[in-house]
Amino acid sequence: MRSAAAVGAMVLGIAISAGAADLQSVKSVYLLPMANGMDQYLAGRLTAGSVIQVVTDPKKADAVLSDHVGETFEKSMDDLYGAVLTSKDASPAFARVGGGQRSRGTFFLVDRKTRDILWSDEEVPKGTSPKETRRIAARIADHLGKVLKGK
């Protein structure tokens, strides 16, 4: 008979593998508008570094990159892809997280279809200058690239 710890470890391993598999299936990303034009800098860094294909048509994206989640994010996703319902008469399936205010320096890669957060990172900027925004975009692109390559 297996111990509870061994079974828990197996379940956790499956959950981690499933999450990694979801992330590994992401080949294209749509960037939502971000504070200080970060979406533009990120698009440049992600493309220049061949990290991931950045698309301008949200329907072609496997995932969405955003600097916030919550109600305003939900609204953006509903506008782009339609509301996600659990059944004909149910309320939207996406759980509300916070009030939707942007938190400086947090980034989320969200599965377009399931709306699960596949990856997140935090890089708090030291200011709003273009030089600092480029630095943060480079760091986020580097971190995401390593995760996507399995490093």
Tens-of-pLDDT digits for all 151 residues of the chain? 444 444 343 333 433 334 455 888 999 999 999 999 999 999 999 999 999 999 999 999 999 999 999 999 999 999 999 987 655 544 444 444 444 445 578 999 999 999 999 999 999 999 999 999 999 999 999 999 999 988 6
Contact criterion met (CB below 8 Å) for 101 and 68 = yes
**In this predicted structure, what is the pLDDT of residue 22?**
80
**In this predicted structure, what is the pLDDT of residue 150?**
84
**In this predicted structure, what is the pLDDT of residue 32?**
97
The Cα 93–Cα 33 span in angstroms is: 23
Question: Strand (E) positions, the chain?
Answer: 28-31, 53-54, 63-66, 106-111, 117-122
